[in-house]
């Protein structure tokens, strides 16, 4: 670990120590895992990881979250969120993530009195933190608006810790998710404007499970488009695995069984956030973090 990264690690644990007790919005991905690990080290019993149990969470991601929390050594609590009951969420506008995160943070806030009973020898109310990192500030992130509104802190972003440094910290802490590919929720696979339903996200989950296992793929997306079309994205170097005549027949047969009418392979290959290409510039929500000088001070001494 470089001296700069070691310094950021120390700053992260000190910040979380000052914020304790801490409730981590925990997906099981590398970002929230690093925050959870730092919280466990800094706060011990006064740290808790909370994960939303939702149809938009892939089955494999649920298993990873449980395993990662045990590995980190942090108490882990599941909550059942109800974003699919929100018509604005189901309508799938370009800011759909805002409604999802608002539901999550509201739910956690309602549970804080109950969750606080887990903590010991504390005087201040729990602080909710998430795993947003410094590189997230230049992307379409409507969920960050919800975090700002609900006073949710983003320690990695506040300390200017970027994605590469997050992975380096995770590797230094021997976290098994250190090299885990990003895995946004299943609803992010549904084309904007096409209603998000439990049935559609379930189709996506089953399709991705099949492709991952059948063709030994670690990075892929199945995008749910109009007319029940599955648009498959894999890295360009993996295209030969799924474009042979035999593979094409196998994929078409299985995806029809799952519920898709058609399946196609995107020849541009995998692009994270490719659905955002259709968003009008005026609808993009780029998160501009509150500068440290403007944020309510937290002593790190």
Q: What is the domain-level CATH number for residue 243?
A: 3.30.70.2210
The rounded mean pLDDT for the chain is 90
Let me know whether 207 and 123 are in one domain.
no
Let me know whether 143 and 10 are in one domain.
yes
Structural domain includes residue 209: yes
Let me know whether 54 and 203 are in one domain.
no
The CA distance from 111 to 143, in Å, is 20
Q: What is the pLDDT of residues 280-290, one digit of tens each?
A: 445 545 455 55
| Amino acid 284: pLDDT | 44
The CA distance from 147 to 281, in Å, is 22
| Amino acid 115: pLDDT | 84
Let me know whether 38 and 92 are in one domain.
yes
Structure tokens at 285: 């929500």
Structural domain includes residue 299: no
- At 19, phi and psi to the nearest 5? -90, -10
Residue that finishes a domain, picked among 113, 139, 172: 172
The CA distance from 81 to 50, in Å, is 11
Please tell me the total count of domains within the chain: 2
Let me know whether 21 and 91 are in one domain.
yes
| Residues 63, 71 contacting (CB under 8 angstroms) | no
Structural domain includes residue 294: no
| Amino acid 296: pLDDT | 46
Let me know whether 112 and 213 are in one domain.
no
Q: What is the domain-level CATH number for residue 36?
A: 3.40.50.620
Confidence category of residue 273, pLDDT binned at 50, 70, 90: low
Structural domain includes residue 97: yes
Stretch 253-276: mean pLDDT: 89
The CA distance from 263 to 208, in Å, is 12
Q: What is the pLDDT of residues 66-91, one digit of tens each?
A: 999 999 999 999 999 999 999 999 99
| Residues 263, 229 contacting (CB under 8 angstroms) | yes
What is the pTM (predicted TM-score) of this model?
Answer: 0.88
The CA distance from 175 to 229, in Å, is 37
Q: Is the alpha carbon torsion for 24, 29, 31, 37 positive or negative?
A: positive
Residues 6+ away with beta carbon under 8 Å from 108: 23, 25, 50, 79, 115, 128
Stretch 12-26: mean pLDDT: 97
The CA distance from 29 to 131, in Å, is 9
pLDDT for 299 beyond 50: no
Confidence category of residue 297, pLDDT binned at 50, 70, 90: very low
Domain residues for the domain of 230 are: 197-272
Structural domain includes residue 166: yes
| Amino acid 62: pLDDT | 94
Let me know whether 97 and 157 are in one domain.
yes
Structural domain includes residue 210: yes
Where are any strands of DSSP class E within 57-115?
75-80
Structural domain includes residue 36: yes
List, in sequence order, every residue forming a beta bridge with 262; answer none if it has no partner.
229
Confidence category of residue 182, pLDDT binned at 50, 70, 90: confident
pLDDT for 300 beyond 90: no
Structure tokens at 13: 């644990």
Q: What is the pLDDT of residues 140-159, one digit of tens each?
A: 678 889 999 999 999 999 99
Confidence category of residue 123, pLDDT binned at 50, 70, 90: confident
Q: Cβ–Cβ contacts within 10 Å for residue 248, how many?
A: 13
**Which among 152, 103, 104, 159 has a CA at the least distance from the CA of 127?**
152
Let me know whether 65 and 123 are in one domain.
yes
Structural domain includes residue 300: no
Let me know whether 135 and 258 are in one domain.
no
Let me know whether 168 and 203 are in one domain.
no
Let me know whether 82 and 135 are in one domain.
yes
The CA distance from 76 to 187, in Å, is 24
Let me know whether 168 and 241 are in one domain.
no
């Amino acid at each position: 670990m470089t001296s700069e990264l070691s310094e950021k690690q120390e700053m992260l644990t000190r910040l979380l120590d000052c914020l304790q007790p801490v409730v981590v919005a925990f997906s099981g991905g590398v970002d929230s895992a690093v925050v959870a690990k730092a919280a466990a080290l800094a706060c011990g019993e006064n740290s808790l990881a909370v994960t939303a149990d939702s149809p938009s969470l892939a089955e494999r991601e649920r298993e990873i979250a449980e395993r990662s929390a045990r590995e980190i050594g942090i108490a882990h609590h599941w909550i059942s969120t109800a974003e699919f009951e929100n018509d604005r969420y189901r309508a799938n506008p370009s800011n759909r993530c805002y409604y999802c995160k608002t539901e999550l943070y509201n739910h956690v806030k309602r549970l804080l009195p109950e969750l606080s009973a887990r903590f010991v020898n504390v005087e201040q109310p729990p602080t909710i933190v998430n795993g947003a990192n410094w590189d997230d500030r230049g992307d379409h992130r409507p969920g960050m608006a919800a975090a700002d509104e609900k006073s949710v802190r983003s320690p990695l972003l506040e300390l200017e810790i970027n994605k590469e440094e997050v992975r380096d910290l995770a590797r230094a802490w021997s976290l098994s998710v250190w090299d885990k590919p990003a895995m946004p929720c299943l609803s992010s696979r549904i084309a904007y404007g096409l209603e998000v339903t439990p049935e559609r996200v379930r189709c996506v989950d089953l399709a991705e499970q099949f492709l991952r296992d059948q063709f030994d793929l670690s990075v892929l997306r199945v995008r749910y488009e109009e007319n029940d079309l599955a648009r498959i994205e894999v890295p360009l170097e993996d295209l030969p695995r799924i474009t042979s005549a035999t593979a094409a027949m196998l994929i078409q047969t299985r995806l029809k069984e799952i519920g898709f009418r058609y399946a196609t392979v995107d020849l541009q290959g995998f692009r994270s956030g490719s659905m955002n290409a259709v968003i009008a510039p005026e609808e993009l929500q780029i998160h501009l973090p509150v500068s440290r000088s403007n944020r309510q001070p937290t002593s790190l001494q």
